């Protein structure tokens, strides 16, 4: 039996509605095997938390960097709220220990688990927002996400890999890279895309993401490393 009170201690937030916290950790697959006495899966909370996260990060960056243009702020925000960043934040909070998953999903420790963790992190934000309001949710995001900003900016981790790769290919080869969807995986509610980036019909690298855009960015980032253009 999972004790969600332990998670409340970790994040230092005590919920009035305990069921909503449990729901934040409940993956859709878990309900297929455990239908009785459950509050529902976390996808609606994830949807809400994603919006709260984006607003909080947007406001923080707007105030932190008054001199930066909209394009730079958008790119920095994307680096702060991407799957890698927020799944890492979820791991640090020991979110893995509280996830409610089907037996099959529980065995997966790879990229699929990373997405589950990222989704749970957003669902937790949504739950905090509903139970405690925006200010408490924003403080949670500040503690777990905002502090990463200086490192991301200092190391240029926010730069758009796809745009930069295109510039380098045009500079070196006089051509433009092309992206092609190689594979689509998963059900409609949890689809993943594998995209290849090509130069003159030659496959350079592949990337995977929850959207074609994310997969293209991953492919471009890997291609920059392969080419030594990082």
- Which domains are present in the chain? 4-154 (1.10.1520.10), 161-227 (3.30.160.20)
> Which H/E stretch holds residue 25?
none
Q: Which residues pair with 199 in a beta bridge?
A: 202
Q: Which two tokens stand for residue 201?
A: 């019909």
Is pTM, for the whole model, over 0.85?
no
CB neighbourhood size of 69 (10 A): 8
Question: Is the CA virtual torsion 41, 45, 49, 51 positive or negative?
Answer: positive
pLDDT in tens, 75-110: 889 889 988 899 999 999 999 999 998 887 777 666
- 8 Å CB contact between 93 and 19: no
Distance, CA of 50 to CA of 107 (rounded, Å) = 26
Query: Which DSSP letter does residue 121 get?
Result: H
Angle subtended at Cα 83 by Cα 22 and Cα 197, rounded to the nearest 5 degrees: 150
Neighbours of 204 (CB within 10 A): 19
Which tens digits make up the pLDDT trace of 138-169? 999 999 999 999 988 876 666 678 877 888 89
Tell me the per-residue pLDDT of 38-60, one tens digit each, with 9 for 90 and over: 778 999 999 999 999 999 999 99
- pLDDT, one tens digit per residue, over 190-221 is 788 999 999 999 999 999 988 888 889 889 98
**Residues marked as catalytic:** 50, 122
């Amino acid at each position: 039996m999972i004790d969600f009170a332990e998670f409340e201690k970790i994040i230092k937030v005590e919920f009035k509605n305990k069921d909503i916290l449990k729901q934040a950790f409940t993956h859709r697959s878990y309900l297929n095997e455990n239908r009785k006495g459950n509050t529902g899966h976390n996808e609606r909370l994830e949807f809400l938390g994603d919006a709260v996260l984006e607003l909080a990060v947007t406001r923080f960056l707007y105030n932190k960097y008054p001199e930066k243009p909209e394009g730079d702020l958008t790119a920095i925000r994307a680096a702060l709220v991407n799957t890698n960043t927020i799944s890492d934040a979820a791991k640090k909070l020991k979110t893995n220990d509280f996830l409610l998953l089907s037996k099959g999903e529980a065995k997966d420790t790879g990229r699929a688990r990373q997405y589950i963790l990222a989704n749970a992190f957003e669902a937790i934000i949504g739950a905090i927002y509903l139970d405690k309001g925006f200010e408490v949710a924003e403080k949670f995001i500040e503690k777990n996400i905002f502090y990463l900003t200086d490192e991301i900016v200092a190391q240029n981790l926010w730069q758009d890999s796809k745009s930069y790769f295109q510039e380098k290919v045009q500079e070196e080869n006089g051509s433009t890279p092309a992206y092609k969807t190689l594979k689509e995986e998963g059900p409609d509610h949890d689809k993943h895309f594998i995209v290849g980036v090509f130069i003159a019909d030659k496959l350079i690298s592949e990337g995977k993401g929850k959207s074609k855009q994310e997969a293209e960015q991953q492919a471009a980032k890997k291609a920059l490393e392969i080419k030594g253009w990082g």
